[in-house]
Amino acid sequence: MLFPGRGLGLRLVKQTARQVLGTAGEQLARRHLEQRGYRFVAANWRRPYGELDLIMRDGDVLVFVEVKTRHGEQLVTAEESLTAAQARRLLRGAQSFLAERVDLASLFWRIDFVAITLAPTGAVSRLTHVVDAVRSG
């Protein structure tokens, strides 16, 4: 046993409903972008200071994609849910990703936003793709 007395064994990790919704939204966004010719690079790149949902290529441009998925529009629509603080974290995350991936650092890059609203049935009622949604400065 590596850590006696800690009971660290294999455990089944369950996703919350919010995580399941987020994962489904990221899959829908990826499929939407791939149907438009984008190529997949990475997903769910995480560091202590932020996360990048999807990283895609649009021709010679590297695209960092923030995905927001909502059931209905009771409080805030998916399109309204990207805050200034989140935008700053996305910029920091993109810069950090490029610092780690020197092979991609010479590419032009941008941050896109995909907002997905699901109907009560789970079907997509609206998908909005905002190109170059977050800019520095």
| pLDDT recorded at residue 4 | 43
pLDDT of residue 131 exceeding 90, the answer is yes
Q: Is residue 71 part of a domain?
A: yes
The count of domains in the chain is 1
Specify the long-range contacts of residues 45-49, CB closer than 8 Å, at least 24 apart.
45/93, 45/97, 47/93, 47/96, 49/89, 49/92, 49/93, 49/96
Kind plus residue range of the DSSP H or E element containing 84: helix 84-100
Q: Is residue 5 part of a domain?
A: no
Q: Which amino acid belongs to residue 95?
A: Q
On the CB side of 15, CA atoms within 13 Å amount to 8
Q: Which of 19-23, 35-39, 54-58 is predicted with the least confidence, judged by mean pLDDT? A: 19-23
Please give the share of the chain, as a percent, with pLDDT higher than 70: 85
| pLDDT recorded at residue 40 | 98
CATH code for position 112: 3.40.1350.10
Query: For residue 53, is it left (φ>0), alpha (ψ between -120 and 50) or beta?
Result: alpha
- The residue range of the domain holding 45 is 17-134
Is 102:81 a contact under the CB 8 Å cutoff? Answer: no
Q: Is residue 9 part of a domain?
A: no
Confidence of residue 47 (pLDDT cuts 50, 70, 90): confident
The structure's pTM equals 0.84
Q: Strand 61-71: give its sheet, edge to edge.
A: 39-47, 50-58, 61-71, 108-118, 124-134
Encode pLDDT of 100-124 as tens digits.
999 999 999 999 999 998 888 889 9
Q: Is residue 10 part of a domain?
A: no
Average pLDDT for 17-30? 88
Q: What three-state secondary structure class fits 57? A: strand
